[in-house]
Amino acid sequence: MEQRTVVSGKELIKIAKTTSPIGIKGDVKIVPLFFNVEELNGLFSLCKNEIYLVRGSEFPKRVSLSSSRESKDHLSMTFEGIETRTQATDLSKLDVYVPYPIYSKYVQDTNNVFGYIGYMVEDRKLGAVGKVTDVLRQVQTLLVVDDKLVPFVKEFVESIDYNNKLIKTNLPEGLLE
């Protein structure tokens, strides 16, 4: 899930993609990779002047956020200096990165499910299940634990020990077979 890179000594993480211009005034459609739209907008509000757009292996273009609007499945964003549809078209199909320290603090401060990557999962009956390596969001949130899918729902999670990075579960019999 995490796609990090270091550019000029700055650690960045890819969190979204641009898809296309919206309208004629330079708005760009941004689609989240793993956050929902509201979470993505919250993260962008913390790093308005440090958003990086990347096409392939090209050097990142740093942009500053002027405004954003949430839709069901995307953000409509306006960047400083991008005022026409033609300029916005040049920003189509790019990867969107933000500074990793800001991302990491956001995940921690908001108690976001992505903060559980790296936690160990221990089940009441099964014992050690493994380490959370990824999070999938579909109809429900799933933790990827050593290539097994574990539903992350309050009915199955007994406790979370933040100090020891441990999630204790009581999973239904046969779930991981």
Lowest mean pLDDT among 8-12, 78-82, 126-130: 8-12
Average pLDDT, the chain: 90
Q: State how far the alpha carbon of 163 is from the alpha carbons of 15, 104, 116, 158, in Å.
A: 26, 16, 12, 16
Q: Give the pair of three-digit tokens for residue 109.
A: 């401060």
Structural domains of the chain sorted by starting position, each given as residue range(s) with its CATH number in brackets: 4-109 (2.40.30.60), 113-169 (2.30.30.240)
**If we measure between CA atoms, which residue out of 75, 74, 78 comes closest to residue 63?**
78
* Nearest-angstrom CA–CA distance, 50 and 152: 32
For the chain, the distance separating the N- and C-terminal CA atoms, rounded to the nearest angstrom, is 24
- For the cut 80, the answer to whether the pLDDT of residue 95 exceeds it is yes
